[in-house]
Amino acid sequence: MLLIVGTVRLPAENLERARPAMRAMAEASRAEPGCLEYGYAEDVLVPGLIHVKELWQDQASLDAHFASSHIAVWRAAWPGLGIGERDLRVYEVGTPRKT
């Protein structure tokens, strides 16, 4: 499995306009084969900081995601939303366990 975690930043005043685009991206991604989790979360202390968490079954699923039309639409929206700084990392993970 592949875990992607990180953050994206946008001007806080653009959050209202960004939410529908983030929702559309999350819904389309969650419907993809191999997507186990996909979400965005607003930081409660830093306005405009969005935490990203994705979990993919394998590299082939992630590659298909990167080639999808909805990711192209999402990326095309970045300049208008002021999304510039991105810090996302991919980790290979094993079987989860309860804590």
Domains of the chain and any CATH numbers: 2-91 (3.30.70.100)
| Mean pLDDT of all residues belonging to the chain | 96
Spatial neighbors of 77 by CB under 8 A, at least 6 apart, are 18, 21, 83
Residue whose pair of structure tokens reads 């607003």 in the numeric block: 42
pLDDT digits (tens, 9 = 90+) for 10-46: 999 999 999 999 999 999 999 999 999 999 999 999 9
- The answer to whether the beta carbons of residues 88 and 38 sit under 8 Å apart is no
Name the E strands within the chain. 2-9, 35-42, 49-56, 86-92
pLDDT higher than 90, residue 99: no
Q: What is the pTM of this model?
A: 0.91
